[in-house]
Amino acid sequence: MSAQDTIYKVDGTRLVAKVLLVSDTIACKRFDNLQGPTYLYPKSTIREIHYSNGMKDVFAPATVVATIPPTTPPPTTPPSNPSSSNISEYPILKHGARYRQGKKHLSEADMLLVAGKRTDDPILLQEISLTKTCRRSQHFAGAVGALAFIGFGAYLIDVSNYGGKLNPNVILLPVAVIVSEVTSIVLKVQRKNHALNVIDQYNRHE
Protein backbone atom coordinates (compact mmCIF):
# COMPACT_ATOMS: atom_id res chain seq x y z
CA MET A 1 0.00 0.00 0.00
CA SER A 2 1.33 3.50 -0.83
CA ALA A 3 2.25 5.70 2.09
CA GLN A 4 0.51 9.04 2.30
CA ASP A 5 1.98 12.50 1.75
CA THR A 6 0.51 15.66 3.28
CA ILE A 7 0.19 18.87 1.27
CA TYR A 8 -0.21 22.18 3.13
CA LYS A 9 -1.66 24.94 0.96
CA VAL A 10 -0.99 28.66 1.31
CA ASP A 11 -4.63 29.26 2.27
CA GLY A 12 -4.19 27.01 5.33
CA THR A 13 -6.00 23.93 4.06
CA ARG A 14 -4.43 20.48 4.25
CA LEU A 15 -4.66 17.67 1.68
CA VAL A 16 -3.73 14.02 2.27
CA ALA A 17 -2.52 12.69 -1.07
CA LYS A 18 0.11 10.77 -3.02
CA VAL A 19 2.44 13.29 -4.71
CA LEU A 20 3.40 12.26 -8.26
CA LEU A 21 5.34 15.27 -9.56
CA VAL A 22 6.84 18.46 -8.15
CA SER A 23 7.69 21.24 -10.63
CA ASP A 24 5.94 24.52 -11.39
CA THR A 25 2.81 22.41 -10.93
CA ILE A 26 2.20 19.87 -8.16
CA ALA A 27 0.58 16.69 -9.49
CA CYS A 28 -1.03 14.33 -7.00
CA LYS A 29 -3.80 11.82 -6.40
CA ARG A 30 -6.15 11.87 -3.45
CA PHE A 31 -4.99 9.24 -0.97
CA ASP A 32 -8.52 7.92 -0.51
CA ASN A 33 -8.91 7.50 -4.29
CA LEU A 34 -5.51 6.51 -5.74
CA GLN A 35 -7.18 5.09 -8.86
CA GLY A 36 -9.05 8.35 -9.45
CA PRO A 37 -8.09 11.46 -11.43
CA THR A 38 -4.78 13.27 -11.09
CA TYR A 39 -5.15 16.75 -9.58
CA LEU A 40 -2.89 19.66 -10.51
CA TYR A 41 -2.09 22.62 -8.24
CA PRO A 42 0.07 25.64 -9.13
CA LYS A 43 3.22 25.57 -7.03
CA SER A 44 2.47 29.12 -5.88
CA THR A 45 -0.61 27.83 -4.00
CA ILE A 46 1.39 25.26 -2.00
CA ARG A 47 3.18 26.19 1.24
CA GLU A 48 4.92 22.89 1.94
CA ILE A 49 4.74 19.12 1.39
CA HIS A 50 5.48 16.53 4.08
CA TYR A 51 6.42 13.21 2.49
CA SER A 52 5.79 9.76 3.91
CA ASN A 53 9.56 9.16 4.32
CA GLY A 54 9.91 12.11 6.70
CA MET A 55 11.31 14.55 4.11
CA LYS A 56 9.57 17.80 3.29
CA ASP A 57 9.62 20.59 0.70
CA VAL A 58 8.91 24.17 1.73
CA PHE A 59 7.84 26.55 -1.05
CA ALA A 60 6.27 29.54 0.74
CA PRO A 61 6.19 30.83 4.34
CA ALA A 62 3.08 30.28 6.39
CA THR A 63 0.51 33.01 6.08
CA VAL A 64 -0.31 34.74 9.34
CA VAL A 65 -3.86 36.03 9.42
CA ALA A 66 -4.57 38.78 11.92
CA THR A 67 -7.99 38.66 13.52
CA ILE A 68 -9.78 41.84 14.53
CA PRO A 69 -12.52 41.53 17.13
CA PRO A 70 -15.89 42.67 15.83
CA THR A 71 -17.10 46.05 16.95
CA THR A 72 -20.67 44.81 17.17
CA PRO A 73 -21.82 41.48 18.62
CA PRO A 74 -23.07 38.89 16.16
CA PRO A 75 -26.82 38.22 16.06
CA THR A 76 -27.90 35.65 18.62
CA THR A 77 -31.28 34.79 17.09
CA PRO A 78 -31.03 32.10 14.39
CA PRO A 79 -33.19 32.41 11.27
CA SER A 80 -36.69 31.02 11.79
CA ASN A 81 -36.48 28.98 8.59
CA PRO A 82 -33.00 27.57 7.85
CA SER A 83 -34.04 26.38 4.40
CA SER A 84 -34.73 29.96 3.36
CA SER A 85 -31.27 31.19 4.42
CA ASN A 86 -28.06 30.87 2.43
CA ILE A 87 -27.91 27.09 1.93
CA SER A 88 -24.20 27.16 1.09
CA GLU A 89 -23.47 26.93 4.83
CA TYR A 90 -24.65 23.30 4.77
CA PRO A 91 -22.79 20.34 3.22
CA ILE A 92 -24.32 18.54 0.25
CA LEU A 93 -25.40 14.96 1.03
CA LYS A 94 -26.47 12.06 -1.21
CA HIS A 95 -30.13 11.29 -0.52
CA GLY A 96 -31.30 8.26 -2.47
CA ALA A 97 -31.30 9.14 -6.16
CA ARG A 98 -31.22 12.85 -5.32
CA TYR A 99 -29.27 15.17 -3.03
CA ARG A 100 -29.95 17.22 0.09
CA GLN A 101 -28.47 20.42 1.49
CA GLY A 102 -29.87 21.41 4.85
CA LYS A 103 -33.61 20.85 4.54
CA LYS A 104 -33.68 21.45 0.81
CA HIS A 105 -33.84 18.53 -1.63
CA LEU A 106 -31.87 18.95 -4.85
CA SER A 107 -31.89 17.31 -8.25
CA GLU A 108 -28.52 16.60 -9.86
CA ALA A 109 -28.83 19.75 -11.96
CA ASP A 110 -29.61 21.85 -8.86
CA MET A 111 -26.71 20.25 -6.97
CA LEU A 112 -24.27 21.13 -9.77
CA LEU A 113 -25.64 24.68 -9.83
CA VAL A 114 -25.08 25.09 -6.08
CA ALA A 115 -21.59 23.54 -6.18
CA GLY A 116 -20.67 25.68 -9.20
CA LYS A 117 -20.90 28.82 -7.07
CA ARG A 118 -17.48 27.93 -5.66
CA THR A 119 -15.64 29.34 -8.66
CA ASP A 120 -12.33 29.44 -6.76
CA ASP A 121 -11.90 25.64 -6.77
CA PRO A 122 -10.59 24.36 -10.15
CA ILE A 123 -10.86 20.70 -9.12
CA LEU A 124 -14.53 21.14 -8.20
CA LEU A 125 -15.27 22.95 -11.47
CA GLN A 126 -13.53 20.17 -13.43
CA GLU A 127 -15.67 17.48 -11.78
CA ILE A 128 -18.83 19.52 -12.47
CA SER A 129 -17.85 19.77 -16.14
CA LEU A 130 -17.17 16.02 -16.37
CA THR A 131 -20.54 15.24 -14.75
CA LYS A 132 -22.37 17.42 -17.28
CA THR A 133 -20.42 15.90 -20.19
CA CYS A 134 -21.32 12.35 -19.10
CA ARG A 135 -24.97 13.36 -18.72
CA ARG A 136 -25.12 14.82 -22.25
CA SER A 137 -23.31 11.81 -23.74
CA GLN A 138 -25.60 9.39 -21.88
CA HIS A 139 -28.70 11.10 -23.24
CA PHE A 140 -27.25 11.10 -26.75
CA ALA A 141 -26.45 7.37 -26.59
CA GLY A 142 -29.97 6.67 -25.35
CA ALA A 143 -31.49 8.68 -28.20
CA VAL A 144 -29.40 6.82 -30.81
CA GLY A 145 -30.48 3.48 -29.36
CA ALA A 146 -34.15 4.51 -29.37
CA LEU A 147 -33.99 5.62 -33.01
CA ALA A 148 -32.27 2.38 -34.04
CA PHE A 149 -34.93 0.34 -32.20
CA ILE A 150 -37.77 2.26 -33.83
CA GLY A 151 -36.16 1.95 -37.26
CA PHE A 152 -35.69 -1.80 -36.89
CA GLY A 153 -39.27 -2.27 -35.70
CA ALA A 154 -40.66 -0.21 -38.58
CA TYR A 155 -38.63 -2.21 -41.07
CA LEU A 156 -39.94 -5.53 -39.70
CA ILE A 157 -43.54 -4.27 -39.88
CA ASP A 158 -42.99 -3.13 -43.47
CA VAL A 159 -41.56 -6.51 -44.51
CA SER A 160 -44.38 -8.34 -42.72
CA ASN A 161 -47.10 -6.27 -44.41
CA TYR A 162 -45.69 -6.01 -47.93
CA GLY A 163 -43.47 -9.04 -48.19
CA GLY A 164 -39.95 -9.09 -49.48
CA LYS A 165 -36.64 -10.36 -48.25
CA LEU A 166 -34.85 -9.11 -45.19
CA ASN A 167 -31.89 -6.89 -45.97
CA PRO A 168 -28.78 -8.35 -44.26
CA ASN A 169 -27.60 -4.83 -43.45
CA VAL A 170 -30.63 -4.34 -41.23
CA ILE A 171 -28.95 -6.57 -38.62
CA LEU A 172 -26.82 -3.50 -37.83
CA LEU A 173 -29.83 -1.80 -36.27
CA PRO A 174 -30.26 -4.20 -33.29
CA VAL A 175 -26.47 -4.16 -32.89
CA ALA A 176 -26.66 -0.36 -32.65
CA VAL A 177 -29.39 -0.70 -30.03
CA ILE A 178 -27.20 -2.98 -27.88
CA VAL A 179 -24.08 -0.83 -28.26
CA SER A 180 -26.02 2.32 -27.41
CA GLU A 181 -27.56 0.72 -24.32
CA VAL A 182 -24.18 -0.52 -23.03
CA THR A 183 -22.61 2.88 -23.70
CA SER A 184 -25.46 4.59 -21.87
CA ILE A 185 -24.97 2.33 -18.81
CA VAL A 186 -21.21 2.99 -18.72
CA LEU A 187 -21.77 6.74 -18.98
CA LYS A 188 -24.38 6.60 -16.22
CA VAL A 189 -21.85 4.97 -13.87
CA GLN A 190 -19.17 7.53 -14.77
CA ARG A 191 -21.67 10.35 -14.30
CA LYS A 192 -22.59 9.06 -10.83
CA ASN A 193 -18.91 8.81 -9.83
CA HIS A 194 -18.14 12.34 -10.99
CA ALA A 195 -21.23 13.66 -9.16
CA LEU A 196 -19.98 12.01 -5.95
CA ASN A 197 -16.58 13.63 -6.51
CA VAL A 198 -18.36 16.99 -6.83
CA ILE A 199 -20.07 16.76 -3.44
CA ASP A 200 -16.90 15.36 -1.82
CA GLN A 201 -14.80 18.27 -3.11
CA TYR A 202 -17.53 20.80 -2.25
CA ASN A 203 -17.81 19.53 1.33
CA ARG A 204 -14.05 19.96 1.86
CA HIS A 205 -14.78 23.69 2.15
CA GLU A 206 -17.40 23.22 4.86
Same domain for 117 and 193, yes or no, is yes
Mean pLDDT, range 185-189, rounded to an integer: 91
In a domain, 63, yes or no: no
124 domain-assigned:
yes
Print the domain residue range for 17: 5-58
Helix, strand, coil percentages (3-state) for the chain, rounded to 5, are: 45, 20, 30
188 and 104 co-located in one domain: yes
CATH assignment of the domain containing 20? 2.30.30
Q: Are residues 125 and 205 in the same domain?
A: yes
Together in a domain, 123 and 204: yes
Judged against a pLDDT cut of 80, whether residue 159 lies above it is answered with no
Clarify whether residues 11 and 106 are in a common domain.
no
Instruction: Average the pLDDT over 187-196 and give the result.
Output: 91
Q: For residue range 132-156, what is the model confidence (pLDDT) as tens digits?
A: 999 999 999 989 889 888 987 887 7
Domain match, 198 and 103 both: yes
Q: Per-residue pLDDT tens for 78-124? A: 555 444 444 467 889 898 889 988 888 899 999 999 889 888 889 98
Domain assignment present for 51: yes
143 inside domain: yes
Q: Which residue type is seen at 10?
A: V
3-state secondary structure 43-99: HHHEEEEECCCCCEEECCCCCCCCCCCCCCCCCCCCCCCHHHCCHHHCCEEEECCEE
- If asked whether residues 108 and 37 sit together in one domain, one would say no
Same-domain check for residues 100 and 200? yes
Question: What is the total count of domains within the chain?
Answer: 2
